Structure 1
Amino acid sequence: MTSTPEKNLPFSLQLTCGAIAGVVEILALYPLDVIKTRAQLNSGASVGVVSSFQDIIRNEGVRTLYRGIAFPLSIEAPKRALTFAANEQFTTFYMKLFGMDHVTPSLALATGVSAGITEATVIVPFELVKVRLQDKANAQIYKNAWDALKKILQKEGILALYNGLEATILRHAVWNGGYFSVISSVRNTLPEAQNKNEQLRNNFIAGTIGGIFGTMLNAPTDVVKSRIQSFTGSGPRKYNWTLPSILLIGKEEGFKSLYRGFVPKVLRLGPGGGILLVVYDTVSNWMKLNIVYD
């Protein structure tokens, strides 16, 4: 998916590029993720993004907007590294498997889904801890990420860290499939870049549109994932598997509720998708020019 596919980076450098892109993106846009999770866990009246920001800052302080960032930040580098590197590796594998000489939207869809599944299986415990910390109801239960991890293990057992595995796999498979396939399609329709600035522009446009499209597709699975992972073991478990949970939320709250938190989510993952692609391609192109490798 890089802009100079004729010279592929080795796997270790692909990992490095993805890691750098992920860290830049999460540092820039993490507060929107907190707002998104709060909205998804709320079954009452919806609150706007600006109102949510104001409410958190006024009642809980600015630091709350970064509550739970330690775990996501610690996993963001390997997560995005794995996503982009896996996408590169699956692209090479599928092109050889099907005898293709260029990336098509259908190939990009297949590689994106494969990379998303790979990514999801690794990050489930980190996502669960993040959701627990972002939930306002847990403000007095967990001091920080490590305290949350310790208490979850003590009270619920190690398997609890994998609550929402199925929903996480579906969420990431759908988002990555939509993201990478749309990037491929948009790049083919944009005017060919004549200089570095135009290349950055094309990457940001393609990545942003891809991020918005992926977010539109996976919003219901993301809401379900947050509901499943917020369960602390107290009382009856209301949400477990993805499809039954989607149907239950639709029945009790209306199917519009499956898009709770959509605005902050799309505000993060739209531009966030653009940032990821720009940083990844910029770093990878720099490495191709400045690092000697076989």
Structure 2
Amino acid sequence: MSSDEEDYDYEGLSQNAGLGVHMLAGALAGITEHSVMFPADVIKTRMQVFTASPATMYTGIGNAFSRISATEGLRTLWRGVSSVILGAGPAHAVHFGTYEFVKELTGGNEEGSRWVSTATAGASATIASDALMNPFDVIKQRMQMHQSQFRSVFDCARTVYRNEGLFAFYVSYPTTLTMTIPFAACQFAVYEWSKKLLNPNGEYSPVTHVVAGGAAGAVGAAATTPLDVAKTLLQTRGTSHDPEIRSCRGMLHAFRIIWTRDGLRGFSRGLTPRVLTHVPSNALSWLSYEFFKAAIRDR
């Protein structure tokens, strides 16, 4: 292959790639992202859970990692990963497929700044993918809990459904959307802006996707951490021994509990591991997505 053929317009592939390419690339990127960063997500969940037991209260990432690995074993940091693998593939396929479809529909692929289009596409993608992913996220967090009784995704799903009904899988969905819509809009807008700033010629540049994806993840994660704390409280309420938490009805009720128990500081629970998770996670997700998209499209 000649040098001219190798030096193709990498970003230009997205203009002509079909919806199936975006969905398959998104599915592969989602599975890669969630699998690699899962231990950090476990630590984030543990730090966000409200508990009165000193054994399950963590002061930082290092403290959480050492205590979990020492008392429960390193395998615990991967418990529940099968849930995100099962859910992340279809959810990310829907996510990236919707994103590319709406961005094209609203003129986001045209020349010039199109941040409104990319933000709208990102929000639309989130609404669609979260509807599919929310039950898997509930199962994942139930399995991530300290001394969780669940050892398989299907056992957890059956137990939650039997004891709490279908509502338990979607009680956090409004909170999830309240968090992920601005997160997605923010990260897609930051990603597209950073990508064009760092790589205006649209040449093949994995470094660009890593840097732009990481920056987008950091901004989005930091801004939406308070909502993530409320989401965790709602998704794990069925495992709590606290009557008020077990009867938590929705996002505003969760906010009141967080404020009463821990004040303003409570809304920043898990901030550091959440940001540290999303920086490499988003960087890996975008790098994987762009790579798989190019590889599939080229074939």
Residue of structure 1 in register with 2:106 after alignment: 94
Q: Which residues in structure 2 correspond to 1:10-49 (within 5 Å)?
A: 10-42=18-50, 46-49=58-61
Residue of structure 2 in register with 1:105 after alignment: 115
Is the aligned partner of 1:62 residue 2:71? no
**Secondary structure of residue in 1 paired with 2:249:** coil
**Secondary structure of residue in 2 paired with 1:254:** helix
* Contact 2:31/2:84, CA 8 A, preserved across alignment: no
Q: What do the CA deviations read for 1:215-243 (whole angstroms, capped 9, x no partner)?
A: 01211111101101111187343533223
Q: Which runs of 5+ in 2 are unaligned?
A: 1-9
Take 1:195 and 1:14, find their aligned partners in 2: how far apart are those partners?
A: 19
Change (3 A) 1:54 1:14: same
Residue of structure 2 in register with 1:82 after alignment: 94
What is the TM-score of this pair, normalised by structure 2? 0.87
**Which residue identity is paired with 1:266?**
V
Out of 67, 75, 85, the residue aligned to residue 73 of structure 1 is 85
Note the C-alpha offset of 1:256: 2.0
Out of 278, 286, 289, the residue aligned to residue 280 of structure 1 is 289
Residue of structure 1 in register with 2:216 after alignment: 210
Q: What do the CA deviations read for 1:172-218 (whole angstroms, capped 9, x no partner)?
A: 2122111101012212322546863xx11111100000011110121
Q: What do the CA deviations read for 1:240-287 (whole angstroms, capped 9, x no partner)?
A: 322342244124312122121111111111111111111111111122
Identity %: 23
**Which residue identity is paired with 2:104?**
T
Note the C-alpha offset of 1:148: 1.0
Q: Which residues in structure 2 correspond to 1:92-241 (within 5 Å)?
A: 92-95=104-107, 104-136=114-146, 138-139=147-148, 141-192=149-200, 196=204, 199-232=205-238, 235-236=243-244, 237-241=246-250
* Contact 1:117/1:170, CA 8 A, preserved across alignment: no
**Which residue identity is paired with 2:233?**
R
Change (3 A) 1:86 1:191: closer
* Contact 2:13/2:294, CA 8 A, preserved across alignment: no
Is the aligned partner of 1:263 residue 2:263? no
* Contact 2:29/2:286, CA 8 A, preserved across alignment: yes
Note the C-alpha offset of 1:6: 6.3
RMSD value, Cα: 2.3
Change (3 A) 1:77 1:103: farther
Take 1:6 and 1:12, find their aligned partners in 2: how far apart are those partners?
A: 12
Take 2:49 and 2:150, find their aligned partners in 1: how far apart are those partners?
A: 17
Change (3 A) 1:165 1:191: closer
Is the aligned partner of 1:253 residue 2:262? yes
**Which residue identity is paired with 2:25?**
C
What is the TM-score of this pair, normalised by structure 1? 0.89
